[in-house]
Amino acid sequence: MNFAIPRNNNSKMLCYIWKVFDIPSMSQNDFVYKISFVLYILPPMKAINFINECVENGLLIKDDNENLKLSNPLNKKIKNWHKQRKNEILENLNNYKKIAKLQTEFDKDNSDNYKHLLRAFTDRSTLNRAATVSNSGFELINFSSSQGTIKSKVLGSKEELYIIDIDTNDKILRHNCHDFKTRKAENKKFCKHLAKLFILLKDKDAASAEFFLNELAENIDNWEFTS
């Protein structure tokens, strides 16, 4: 997030200031005081000049009581910004709840062997991030312990479709998200997509899911993690 004050753009700086105080209108004297002695953005005379320029350019409007308020386009822009911020906060809150739920379920899981196997390829941070991956984002194409293969697609956070391909016969785990390609594959660790996949697979068929984790753990030196 960029907190730099956009001093070279009156429209952007006015929005920057208005976001801080979030009030419908204010007197010119009050606005000068807030700019100069609350935010310390401009000295009083420059603050007055800034306000006058905003009025002249139609960015600020004076009401019947000579109070200043934002022009309709800027007021709409501020409302949209607040709406976006609210949605971001709610999304983060929802993610925190998902993380807490996943941690609780994982800690209460009676399958100690499965937990130990999964933790061999993940850490707490990865499990937390796995909670933010939507269940509906997965398209499981094949999951067979007898064939030794898992094939799935998963929708990334930027609406990009990734593949997951695990083959115990050829000892290949293939996935192509950025985190896996640049960090996890080299250390033979799971990214959030792989961690979430194995959490979902356990609910579908715990024995088969554990079979694949065992195959990975017992022969890890022979496996190739690639994209």
Options 1.20.120, 1.10.287, 1.10.10, 3.40.190; CATH for 7-108 is 1.10.10
CA 145/CA 172 separation, integer angstroms: 15
Per-residue model confidence (pLDDT) at position 46: 95
Q: For 44-58, 64-78, 81-95, which range has the lowest pLDDT when averaged over its residues?
A: 81-95
Q: What is the pTM assigned to this prediction?
A: 0.55
166 in Cβ contact with 218 (< 8 Å):
no
Q: How crowded is residue 185: how many other Cβ atoms within 10 Å of its Cβ?
A: 21
The domain spans of the chain are 7-108, 111-226
Long-range contacts (CB closer than 8 Å, 24 or more residues apart) made by 83-87: none
Structure tokens at 78: 């501020």
**Dihedral sign for Cα atoms in the order 151, 152, 156, 160:** positive
Phi, psi of 47 (to 5 degrees): -65, -40
Per-residue model confidence (pLDDT) at position 1: 46
Per-residue model confidence (pLDDT) at position 106: 60
DSSP per-residue codes, 5-33: --TT-HHHHHHHHHHHH--S-B-HHHHHH
Per-residue model confidence (pLDDT) at position 151: 97
Per-residue model confidence (pLDDT) at position 146: 93
CA 24/CA 37 separation, integer angstroms: 20
Q: Give the tens place of pLDDT for each residue, 198-211.
A: 999 988 998 999 99
* Cα–Cα distances in angstroms (integers) from residue 222 to residues 169, 180, 219, in the given order: 11, 18, 6
From the list 13, 21, 19, the residue with the least C-alpha distance to 80 is 19
Residue 2, pLDDT above cutoff 60 = no
Q: Which single residue is written with the structure tokens 């730099």? A: 4
More confident residue, 127 or 87: 127
